[in-house]
């Protein structure tokens, strides 16, 4: 595997379900990001991790819970989501001494539909 | 809070024509990115612009940055169908850790 991978690529879940999105980067980067991409809206930054430590939490509802067990893996745990949470969730990674400043490399995304 | 606005949001053009996409940002930024996204695919980095007057070119795309006007442009020369995609600009706030994206410009190049 190369670059940034995300699984699953598509996910349909009910509002009472619990699921997790997984992201893995194979680039040796030290920072990872979660973004939400909704139709007709700019990408919204959700979380930023640098060296496995959360450095940014952009007022995201608690039904989204990130986890970064090591610098190569990032998870987004989902529970009791709402239909408006349906979107494309993108993971990205970057390398540098200033989080967010370096070029970010994106994964293919997980298309989430909440029923 | 840094805001980024792109225009136009939708652009339909014929092959062989030239056009420019504009990206304005509201506060001081120390770097400006352009990304491309094909339908159903992820974002691909095209350019990063670091200083006033910076210009970068790759094939039929040329990006420039005017930090005084807080404006970046992405110029398309002699468009071809393969350039059809959504183009995003993103600005990094000089004092922060986040990248703020514009809404994207959906470009369609017609034969």
Residue B27: per-residue pLDDT: 87
Percent of chain B exceeding pLDDT 70 equals 100
Ramachandran area for residue B36 (φ above 0: left; ψ -120 to 50: alpha; else beta)? beta
The kind and range of the H/E element at A4 are strand A4-7
Residues of B within an 8 Å Cβ radius of A = 4, 30-31, 33, 35, 41-45, 48, 88, 90, 92, 96-104
Q: Cα dist. B109→A39, B13, B73, B85 in Å?
A: 21, 5, 18, 9
Residue A1: per-residue pLDDT: 59
Radius of gyration of chain A (CA): 13
- Burial category of B96 from C-beta neighbours within 10 Å (exposed 0-12, middle 13-18, buried 19 and up): middle
User: Is the CB of A43 less than 8 angstroms away from the CB of B88?
Assistant: yes
Phi, psi of A80 (to 5 degrees): 45, 55
Categorize the per-residue pLDDT at B9 as very low, low, confident or very high, splitting at 50, 70 and 90: very high
Chain B contact for A7 (CB, 8 A cutoff): no
Chain B contact for A43 (CB, 8 A cutoff): yes
User: Is the CB of B4 less than 8 angstroms away from the CB of A42?
Assistant: yes
Contact B105, B21 (CB under 8 A): yes
Residue A68: per-residue pLDDT: 94
| pLDDT tens digit sequence for A32-77 | 999 999 987 889 999 999 887 777 777 899 999 999 999 999 999 9
Between B81 and B111, the more confident residue is B81
Residue B87: per-residue pLDDT: 97
Categorize the per-residue pLDDT at B30 as very low, low, confident or very high, splitting at 50, 70 and 90: confident
Phi, psi of A83 (to 5 degrees): -55, -30
Contact B34, B47 (CB under 8 A): yes
**Cβ atoms < 10 Å from Cβ of B25:** 24
Categorize the per-residue pLDDT at B3 as very low, low, confident or very high, splitting at 50, 70 and 90: very high
Residues in chain A closer than 8 A to B99 (CB atoms): 45, 100, 104
Kindly tell me if the per-residue pLDDT of B96 is higher than 80.
no
Percent of chain A exceeding pLDDT 90 equals 74
Q: Cα dist. B90→A16, A104, B48, B73 in Å?
A: 35, 11, 9, 12
d(CA A50, CA A68): 9
Kindly tell me if the per-residue pLDDT of B104 is higher than 90.
yes
User: Is the CB of B99 less than 8 angstroms away from the CB of A103?
Assistant: no
Average pLDDT over residues B26-40: 90
Q: How confident is the prediction for chain B on average, in pLDDT?
A: 93
Residue A2: per-residue pLDDT: 75
- Angstroms from A47 CA to nearest CA on chain B: 10
Partner residue facing B103 (CB), from A42, A58, A108: A42
């Amino acid at each position: 595997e190369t670059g940034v991978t995300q699984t699953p690529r598509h996910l349909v879940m009910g509002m009472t379900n619990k699921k997790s999105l997984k992201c893995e980067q194979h680039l040796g980067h030290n920072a990872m990001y979660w973004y939400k991409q909704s139709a007709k809206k700019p990408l919204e930054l959700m979380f930023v991790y640098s060296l496995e430590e959360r450095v940014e939490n952009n007022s995201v509802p608690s039904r989204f819970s990130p986890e970064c067990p090591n610098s190569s893996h990032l998870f987004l745990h989902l529970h009791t989501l709402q239909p408006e949470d349906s979107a494309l969730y993108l993971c990205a990674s970057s390398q540098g001494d200033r989080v967010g400043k370096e070029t970010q490399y994106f994964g293919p995304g997980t298309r989430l539909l909440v029923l | 809070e840094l805001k980024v606005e792109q225009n136009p949001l939708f652009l339909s053009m014929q092959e062989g024509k030239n056009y420019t996409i504009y990206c304005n940002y509201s506060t001081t930024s120390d770097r400006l990115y352009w990304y491309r996204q094909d339908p159903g695919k992820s974002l691909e980095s095209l350019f990063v612009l670091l200083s006033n007057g910076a210009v970068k070119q790759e094939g039929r795309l040329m990006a420039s940055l005017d930090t005084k006007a807080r404006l970046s442009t992405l110029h398309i020369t002699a468009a071809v169908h393969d350039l059809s995609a959504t183009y995003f600009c993103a600005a990094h706030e000089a004092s922060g850790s986040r990248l703020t994206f514009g809404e994207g410009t959906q470009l369609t190049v017609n034969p």
